[in-house]
């Protein structure tokens, strides 16, 4: 079977996918014909593949509409994982409102679309501003109420660029307990990791961030697994997901909440969890054969 692992072209703002060459080699060793393919390369004939697996299309948030249109085209030519309707839903972080409506505990979020009145906190704790279409903490920053005017300029810059802005309380538990990433593959838990805080106080929103600082292995708690599974069960249409990553952080009550649900191009961190590679290979080949 022919398998495309979908990535993006190299660029100064694109992180290296350390897993990609390892996964291509492992799939070929297992009998597949696997190759890495760039999503916006017009020379790629997607119809010749039995399966296209979105892996590190990490420039998509710059061009979300173009990327989702590509997913629709690719999904019409071959089996795409995850499916195009999932891609369209998950590239816009307003999906958090859908999860909250389904009873999933999420980080409290307000959305400010272009044209909306920009009202930001002037008292209380720290808060975060970021775009509703983004990856790797791109265009995200952490503010105190005393930095209100700077945060307003941030929101207006996002609006000028056509983005909807998200405003969330800064989850203080990130500084002590970190953020946990629970990976699922083929519908089953794969492994989990923990990372430290991404947004340092005073860091400009347009400065490039380290997306996964201090990444270590993690054993998820029963509460974390329960919240992650509830989030996956709440995805509209109950689609078949080849892969998923649920990013969790503790609220002030000490209970886990969904920070993000990554169904498009989550970093798998196989370099940190090499023992997970055989399961990933097996489930990709199974998806290609089905």
Q: Looking at residue 201, what is its pLDDT?
A: 84
Buried b (16+ CB within 10 A) or exposed e, 179-208: bbbbbbbbeeebbbbbbbbbbeeeeebeee
> Per the confidence metrics, is the pTM higher than 0.85?
yes
DSSP, collapsed to helix, strand or coil, labels residue 67 as: helix
134 band by pLDDT with thresholds 50, 70 and 90 = confident
Do the beta carbons of residue 107 and residue 172 sit within 8 Å?
no
The more confidently predicted of residues 197 and 52 is 52
d(CA 284, CA 32): 10
In three-state secondary structure terms, 22 is helix
User: What ranges make up the beta strands (E) of 160-208?
Assistant: 165-169, 179-185, 188-195
Q: What is the pLDDT of residue 133?
A: 87
Task: Using CA atoms of 203, 139, 130, 272 in order, give the dihedral in degrees to the nearest 10.
Answer: -80
* pLDDT, tens digit, 9 for 90 and up, residues 25-84: 999 999 999 999 999 999 999 999 999 999 999 999 888 999 999 999 999 999 999 999
Closest CA to 19 of 2, 33, 5: 5
Q: What average pLDDT does the chain have?
A: 95
* pLDDT confidence band for 241 (50 / 70 / 90): very high
* Residues belonging to the active site: 217, 245, 262
Whether 14 shows a pLDDT value over 90: the answer reads no
Give the number of other CB atoms < 10 A from CB of residue 209.
17
Peptide bond into 82 cis (omega under 30): yes
CA distance 113 to 159: 7
Q: Which residue, 42, 52, 57, is CA-closest to 75?
A: 52
DSSP assignment of 148-166:
HHHHHHHHHHHHHTTPPEE
By C-alpha distance, which of 82, 68, 56 is closest to 211? 56
Interacting residues of 58 by C-beta distance below 8 A, sequence separation 6+? 8, 14, 15, 17, 135, 136, 265
**Domains along the sequence of the chain with CATH:** 2-90 (3.40.50.20), 95-263 (3.30.470.20)
What average pLDDT does this structure show over 174-202? 94
- Give, rounded to a whole angstrom, the gap between the first and last alpha carbons of the chain: 11
Q: Are 58 and 14 in contact (CB under 8 A)?
A: yes
Residue 135 predicted with pLDDT over 80: no
pLDDT at 204: 82
């Amino acid at each position: 079977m022919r398998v495309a692992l979908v990535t993006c072209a190299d660029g100064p703002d694109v992180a290296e996918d350390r897993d990609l060459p390892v996964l291509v080699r492992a799939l070929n060793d297992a009998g597949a014909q696997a190759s890495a393919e760039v999503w916006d390369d017009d020379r790629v004939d997607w119809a010749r593949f039995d399966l296209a697996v979105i892996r590190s299309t990490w420039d998509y948030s710059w061009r979300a509409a173009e990327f989702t249109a590509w997913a629709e085209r690719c999904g019409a030519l071959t089996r795409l994982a995850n499916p195009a309707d999932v891609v369209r839903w998950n590239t816009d972080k307003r999906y958090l409102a859908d999860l909250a409506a389904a009873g999933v505990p999420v980080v409290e979020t307000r959305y400010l679309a272009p044209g909306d009145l920009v009202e930001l906190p002037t008292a209380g704790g720290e808060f975060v501003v970021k775009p509703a279409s983004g990856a790797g903490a791109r265009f995200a920053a952490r503010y105190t109420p005393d930095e209100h005017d700077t945060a307003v300029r941030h929101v207006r810059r996002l609006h000028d660029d056509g983005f909807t802005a998200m405003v969330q309380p800064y989850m203080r538990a990130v500084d002590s307990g970190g953020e946990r990433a629970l990976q699922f593959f083929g519908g089953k838990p794969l492994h989990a990791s923990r990372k430290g805080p991404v947004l340092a106080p005073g860091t400009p929103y347009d400065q490039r961030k380290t997306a996964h600082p201090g990444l270590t292995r993690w054993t998820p708690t029963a509460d974390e697994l329960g919240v992650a599974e509830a989030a996956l069960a709440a995805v509209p249409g109950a689609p078949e997901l080849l892969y998923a990553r649920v990013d969790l952080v503790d609220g002030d009550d000490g209970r886990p909440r969904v920070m993000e649900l990554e169904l498009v191009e989550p970093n798998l961190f196989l370099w940190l969890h090499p023992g997970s590679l055989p399961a990933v290979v097996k489930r990709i080949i199974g998806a290609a054969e089905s």
